[in-house]
Amino acid sequence: MSYPPPQGGYPPYGGHSPQPGYQQPPPGQYPNQGYPPQQGYGPPPSGPQGYGQPQGYPPPGQYGQPPQQHGYPPQPPPQGHSPYPQHQQQYPPPSHSPYPQQPQPYGGPPSQGQYPPAGQYPPPQHGQHPPPHQGQYPPQQHQQQPPYGAPAAPYGAPPGQPYGAPQSMPTPPSPGYDPNQVARVDLSGPADALRKAMKGFGTDESTLIRVLAHMPPQELPTLKQTYQQRHHRSLEPDIASECSGYFEFALLAILRGPLQQDVWCLNNALKGAGTKESLLDDVLIGRSNADIRAIKTAYQQTYRHSLESDVKADLSAKTERMYSIILSASRQEESAPVYPQAVDADVSEIHRATEGKVGTEQLTVCSILTNRSDGQIRAIAQAYEHKYRRALETVIRNEFAGHMEDALVRMVRSGADRAMRDAIALEDCMRGPGTKDERLVERVVAIHWDRAHVVQVKGAYRHRYGKDLISRIRGETSGDYERVLVAMLE
Phi, psi at 408, each rounded to 5°: -70, -35
**C-beta of residue 322 within 8 angstroms of C-beta of residue 367:** no
**C-beta of residue 285 within 8 angstroms of C-beta of residue 414:** yes
Q: What 3 state SS string does the chain have?
A: CCCCCCCCCCCCCCCCCCCCCCCCCCCCCCCCCCCCCCCCCCCCCCCCCHHHCCCCCCCCCCCCCCCCCCCCCCCCCCCCCCCCCCCCCCCCCCCCCCCCCCECCCCCCCCCCCCCCCCCCCCCCCCCCCCCCCCCCCCCCCCECCCCCCCCCCCCCCCCCCCCCCCCCCCCCCCCCCCCCCCCCCCHHHHHHHHHHHCCCCCCHHHHHHHHCCCCHHHHHHHHHHHHHHHCCCHHHHHHHHCCHHHHHHHHHHHHHHHHHHHHHHHHHHCCCCCCHHHHHHHHCCCCHHHHHHHHHHHHHHHCCCHHHHHHHHCCHHHHHHHHHHHCCCCCCCCCCCCHHHHHHHHHHHHHHCCCCCCCCHHHHHHHHHHCCHHHHHHHHHHHHHHHCCCHHHHHHHHCCHHHHHHHHHHHHHHHCHHHHHHHHHHHHHCCCCCCHHHHHHHHHHHHCCHHHHHHHHHHHHHHHCCCHHHHHHHHCCHHHHHHHHHHHC
CA nearest neighbour of 98 among 147, 146, 145, 136: 136
Write b or e for each residue in 432-454: b if 16 or more Cβ atoms lie within 10 A of its Cβ, otherwise e.
Answer: eeebbbbbbbbbbbbbbbbbbbb
Compute how many other C-beta atoms are within 10 angstroms of the C-beta atom of residue 388. Answer: 17
Please report the pLDDT score of residue 153 as a whole number.
39
* Region for residue 402 given its phi and psi (left: phi exceeds 0; alpha: psi -120 to 50; beta: otherwise): left
Please report the pLDDT score of residue 168 as a whole number.
54
Between CA 271 and CA 178 the distance in angstroms is 26
Q: How far is CA 234 from CA 116, 194, 206, 223, 400, in A?
A: 36, 11, 20, 11, 47
pTM score, whole prediction: 0.69
Between CA 91 and CA 75 the distance in angstroms is 21
**C-beta of residue 414 within 8 angstroms of C-beta of residue 380:** no
For 203, how many CA atoms within 13 A lie in the half-sphere containing its CB?
15
**C-beta of residue 93 within 8 angstroms of C-beta of residue 101:** yes
**What is the pLDDT tens value at each position of the chain, 490 positions in all?**
444 444 444 444 444 444 443 333 344 333 333 444 444 444 444 433 333 343 443 343 333 333 343 444 444 444 433 333 333 333 333 333 333 333 343 343 444 444 434 333 344 444 444 444 444 444 444 334 333 333 433 333 334 444 544 445 899 999 999 988 888 899 999 999 999 999 988 899 999 999 999 999 999 999 999 999 999 999 999 999 999 999 999 999 999 999 999 999 999 999 988 889 999 999 999 999 999 999 999 999 999 999 999 999 998 888 999 999 999 999 999 999 999 999 999 999 999 999 988 888 999 999 999 999 999 999 999 999 999 999 999 999 999 999 999 999 999 999 999 999 999 999 999 999 999 999 999 999 999 999 999 999 999 999 999 999 999 999 999 999 999 999 999 9
Between CA 170 and CA 293 the distance in angstroms is 12
CA 18 to chain CA mean position, Å: 8
Please report the pLDDT score of residue 90 as a whole number.
35
Please report the pLDDT score of residue 272 as a whole number.
82
For 214, how many CA atoms within 13 A lie in the half-sphere containing its CB?
15
In terms of Cβ atoms closer than 10 Å to its own Cβ (0-12, 13-18, 19+), residue 262 is buried
CA nearest neighbour of 104 among 134, 74, 137, 148: 148
**C-beta of residue 468 within 8 angstroms of C-beta of residue 476:** no
